[in-house]
Each structure stands twice: as structure tokens, then as C-alpha cells.
Amino acid sequence: MNNTAGDKPLIVQSDRTLLLDVHAPGAEEARAAILPFAELEKSPEHIHTYRITPLSLWNAASAGLLPENVTDTLAAYSRYEVPAGIAAGFADTMARYGKIKLRARNSGADQSRDDKPDSELLLVTADETIEKEICAAKSLADYLVKTDEGFVLKLVDRGTVKRALIALGWPVQDEAPLREGEKLELALRETCASGKPFVLRDYQEEAARSVLGQGGPGTGFGVVVLPCGSGKTVVGMAVMAILKTNTLILSANVAAVHQWIDELLDKTTLTEEDIAEYSGGSKSVAPVTIATYQILSWRPEKDGDFPHFSLFRSRPWGLIIYDEVHLLPAPVFRITAELQAVRRLGLTATLVREDGDEDAVFSLVGPKRYDVPWKDLERQGWIAEAACIEVRLDLPETSKVPYAVAGKREKYRIAAENPLKEDAALELVELHREDSILVIGQYISQLESIARRLKAPLVTGKTVNAERERIYKAFKNKELRIIVVSKVANFALDLPDASMAVEISGAFGSRQEEAQRLGRILRPKGGRSSWFYVIVSRLTVEEDFAANRQKFLAEQGYRYSIQYWGKP
């Protein structure tokens, strides 16, 4: 870099936040340089915020970076002098990585097979104080046996022990081998089966390579964060094509299963015989098997076993892909803790979980390996430009007293089901006659009413798959211009021509939900903008929840305007 200090792109603050001026010379170079040790937090129009955390520094250490690499990078791009105190802090934090190592107990044995229930690993440390802390940790007592070699643990407890040690502040340098899985010949096509040319985009290839790294310890697992519409499925297929191994794909619902099957047949050399569906309606297994989270986490009795967990051991999988990894249910977390010998890829538009369990995704699936600001992809034309508009309406007079005397949860429902929202939605639909529109809501009775008024089909969780896919196909073929959808729109809804969404109710301002719903309209449309409307009841708790959503969208770089309809 030849920048003078005054025009360098990075501002380093003593609280370990990094502010990146996206308009300064060298901003893209700086972004690439800090990505290995800093996490992107928000990316509005002018200044993007990154944060250096213990986890991000441990990830950097696992990739071979030293504390001086981090401080040298900051000094090279920082507009002002780097605060002196944080350099020593980096060294202390990064020094924790590698103090504890996890190895195969018998180097000559095949420890890469996790179908051997008696397989054992060895946890070792040369630091006597750390050893005593491990001995004293109640969270580890059921999993570790102290021997002269170190601590012995079963292979199936690998992930559980790693997560418990991270909670104690000791990231494990995991040197135990990953198994290769059974080989499967597949490649990406240069021309899709549908006849369209197919080329990996630069960021898709970078994302795939970021997970696999150089193939050494500490690589082969992780999470890729990309906005809806940017081709996360393609990233998964790129990883599959590199590894060429039996692959288990877990997805949000049956519609997503079928989308994966269609994409695999269209863009890879796999045949129908190579691919199987494992869901409520079909329980086949093949070299590439796509299953739903619901079927895996189902059990006949509340405290009983999960009968379909056997799928994880039914073939020698070499790769597991967690689609919409932010939705990973707790029971699947449990089995994922056992699957640390298998390469793992998580795909999501946002790692935000309203239950705060992001650390479980990082610990068990892997760290975030790739993230790119939504607006960057928009500027490059890979996703559509979107206008986010909040429409505020008064409650009708008949609802004001019931709202005033209601409890908090009931207040939200009264505000969410404001009947004037239907009139507003109809007016918005009329104003956008050229758009393909999704009307999205939370409450079925509200959705049934507006579907009747719009004379549009309604898709809910109870809509049978055949009918759901018929409706989606008609929408894609432009035989339908409007679909009314419930929270099934929050994930795995592949309707690339949708250019407008009208949200009439949501789940208490969920940031995760907002990201997914906006993502439904972000597929590029030849330069045309998309429209995202949220209808909110004025002077109600809905405004508070809307502010949470607004903040999230603003942090992704979207301008969010508010319109008042009716009384000022």
C-alpha cells in the first residue's frame, strides 16, 4: 500500500472493533487481509464494522497466523496509530490455541472411521495447570479418562469435549484425522442439463476453497455465510466436486430437498441413481442423500430415541452439508457432536439465532470461513437491489380498547392482525402490477382472509407437497402473479422471479426471519429493483419489534424508509 496515513481504509479501536471505510483506497485489499482474524458484524453504506474476538483469533491461529501477523496487518492498513494495549492481548489469546491437542490414540490404527464405537482419541497438554483444570471440570468428567498418555476419550465424544473446552477458554488443536468417506465420481458441468452455460462465480469458488483450505489439520469444516439468491447451493456443489465423496445433505423441508435434487441433476454429472431423498414421504439412501431436519429430529415418544439418526451411519459419508445451518435443531446438534471425523459444511444467509446458540454452530459444524457483505454482491449485480419500506397504519377504533387492556403477547397479536393491513396490502399489490409478489404472514386466519381477497393461492406448513410444488411451478411460469405464504417463506423457497414481498406479520421482530424473507426477492432480475414492504400497526408493540428488524437491515446496508398511511 502506498496510501498516506490519512487515507488508509481502517480505523482500529481499543475495544477490538475495526471500522472499514469502504470508499478509501485499498478498502478491498484491507478487507481480504483482516478477514482471517476478524468477524464482519455490520455493513451499512459507508463504514463496515468488524470485531476481533477470542474465537476469531483462535481461528486465525488454527490457520497458522501469528500475533505479529495480526498486528502487522492492522498497522499496514490503519489510518491512525494502532492502540498499544491490544497487541499484547492478541498474543495472550492466540497463545491459548495449541496448548491442548487432540490426536488419534494409536497412530497406526484407522482412527478416521467413526463407525467403530470403541475408537478412542487422546487429549494431551504439556501444561500442568491446564491439566489440573481439565481434571477439575465437571463438564468433562463423563467423557475423559486420565492415563499416563493424557486424557482418553471416545471418538463419538470428540465434538462434545471440544465445545466444553471452548467454554473454558481452551480451544483444541484437533489433529485427529478426518475420514475420507467412500469415493464418488462427480464434476460440475460447463453447460447445465437445461442448456444454460454454467461457470462458478469468483466468490462461490473462494467460499468453497475457504472451507477446505490446504487440507491440513483445522480445515475441512466450517460455515459459509452468503445472502439468499447468491448461490449457496452452488458453493455446496463445488465442495462436493472437489472432495468427490459420498455426501449427506440436511435441509429445511421437502421443497428444499427437491430443489437440491434439481440443482444437482442440472449442474453436476450425478445421475438420478446417485441421489436419494430421505424425508417423511421417502426414505431411500444413495451416495448423495438429501434429508430434512424434521425427519431426523422426529421420535415417537418425547423421551425416546431418534430412530432416523441411523442415517448418519448408514453409509461411509465423507461430507455432510447443513443447509440453512442457523435452523439446526438441538437433537441434530447432539448427533453432530459425534460426527467430528466427517468433513462438514454449513450454509446460511445469517448466523443469527434468536436462541443465542451460534457458538454451537461454530463448535460443532465449524467456524465461519467466508462472509461477504450483501451490498457488495448487489453492486456486482449478483443479487438484486432492494428497497425496504415500512408502512405504518393506525389500529381501527374497534381494536384500540381491546389492545389497551390486553397482555403483552396478546397486544402483539392484535397489532399483527390489524384488519386494515389487508386493505394496505391490496393497495400495494395494485400499485405494483408488473411485479411477481409474495404476501407473507404469521397467522393462518389472517392469511386465509387476504388470500380470498386477492384470489391467490395460500401455502402453509399444512399444504401437501404436491400442491405446494404445483403452485410454485405456476408462479415460476408466470401463470400466477401472487402467492400468499406463511412462515414456510422463511427458508428454502426457490422462486427466483419474485420481485416484491409484502410482510403483514412476523415473529416478534426476528432478525433471522427478516434476512430470510428479504432473501426471497434478491435473485437478480436484469437490472430491475425489488421491493420489500413491511406493514406495521402504529403506536403499538409492533413498532418496537419493527425497530429490531430495521436495525438488522440497516446493518446489512439497506436503506429503510417509513411511510405513514391514513392519519398523520
What's the CA gap between 490 and 557, in Å, rounded? 20
- pLDDT higher than threshold 60 for residue 492: no
Select from 520, 331, 536 the least CA-distant residue to 417. Answer: 536
Alpha helices, DSSP H only, in 83-127?
Answer: 84-95
Across 7-71, the runs of DSSP E, i.e. the strands, are 10-12, 17-21, 39-42, 47-51
Question: Could you read off the pLDDT of 34-85 as tens digits, one per residue?
Answer: 988 888 877 777 888 998 988 888 878 877 889 999 999 999 999 999 887 7
Angle at 250 between CA 247 and CA 255, to 5 degrees: 115
The grid coordinates listed for 554 are 440497516
Pairing outcome for strands 120-125 and 100-104: antiparallel
Q: Which residue has the higher pLDDT, 124 or 472?
A: 124
Residue 171 vs residues 16, 153, 365, 417, 427: alpha-carbon distances, Å: 20, 16, 15, 48, 55
| pLDDT band with cut points at 50, 70 and 90 for residue 110 | very low
The grid coordinates listed for 356 are 443465542
- What is the percentage of the chain residues whose pLDDT exceeds 90? 37
Q: Check residue 188 and give its pLDDT.
A: 95
Q: Cell 411477481 sits at which residue?
A: 436
Question: Could you read off the pLDDT of 428-457 as tens digits, one per residue?
Answer: 999 998 888 989 888 999 999 999 999 999
Which residues lie closer than 8 Å to 80 by C-beta, 6 or more apart? Answer: 5, 11, 12
Q: Check residue 3 and give its pLDDT.
A: 57
List 223's β-bridge partners, or say none. Answer: 346, 368
Q: At what angle do helices 254-267 and 232-243 cross, to 10 degrees?
A: 60
**Summary mean pLDDT of the chain:** 84
Query: Per CATH, the architecture of 202-372 is what?
Result: 3-Layer(aba) Sandwich (3.40)
Backbone phi and psi for residue 26, each to the nearest 5 degrees, phi listed first: 80, 10
Which residues lie closer than 8 Å to 391 by C-beta, 6 or more apart? Answer: 424, 428, 533, 534, 535, 536, 563, 565
Select from 314, 330, 313, 324 the least CA-distant residue to 251. Answer: 324
For 204-215, give the DSSP string.
Answer: HHHHHHHHHTTS
Residue 214 vs residues 205, 208, 220: alpha-carbon distances, Å: 14, 12, 9
The arithmetic mean of pLDDT across residues 473-499, rounded, is 79
State which fold the 379-564 domain adopts.
Rossmann fold (3.40.50)
| pLDDT band with cut points at 50, 70 and 90 for residue 111 | very low
Question: Could you read off the pLDDT of 154-202 as tens digits, one per residue?
Answer: 877 888 898 889 889 898 888 877 888 899 999 999 999 888 899 999 9
Per-domain boundaries in the chain: 5-95, 100-174, 202-372, 379-564
Q: Which of 52-56, 196-200, 271-275, 530-534 has the highest mean pLDDT?
A: 271-275
Q: Cβ atoms within 10 A of the Cβ of 49, count?
A: 17
- What is the percentage of the chain residues whose pLDDT exceeds 70? 87
Q: Check residue 216 and give its pLDDT.
A: 56
- pLDDT higher than threshold 60 for residue 269: yes
Angle at 186 between CA 259 and CA 266, to 5 degrees: 35
What's the CA gap between 84 and 11, in Å, rounded? 14
Angle at 155 between CA 150 and CA 160, to 5 degrees: 85
Question: Could you read off the pLDDT of 330-389 as tens digits, one per residue?
Answer: 777 777 767 777 899 999 877 665 555 666 777 778 878 888 877 778 778 887 777 888
Task: Give the pTM.
Answer: 0.74
Q: Check residue 160 and give its pLDDT.
A: 85
Q: Check residue 527 and give its pLDDT.
A: 63
What's the CA gap between 504 and 453, in Å, rounded? 14
What's the CA gap between 361 and 96, in Å, rounded? 21
Q: Give the H/E segment covering residue 535.
A: strand 530-537
- CA pseudo-torsion sign 310, 311, 317, 322: negative
Is residue 309 within 8 A of residue 278, CB to CB? The reply is no
Q: Cell 397489532 sits at which residue?
A: 415
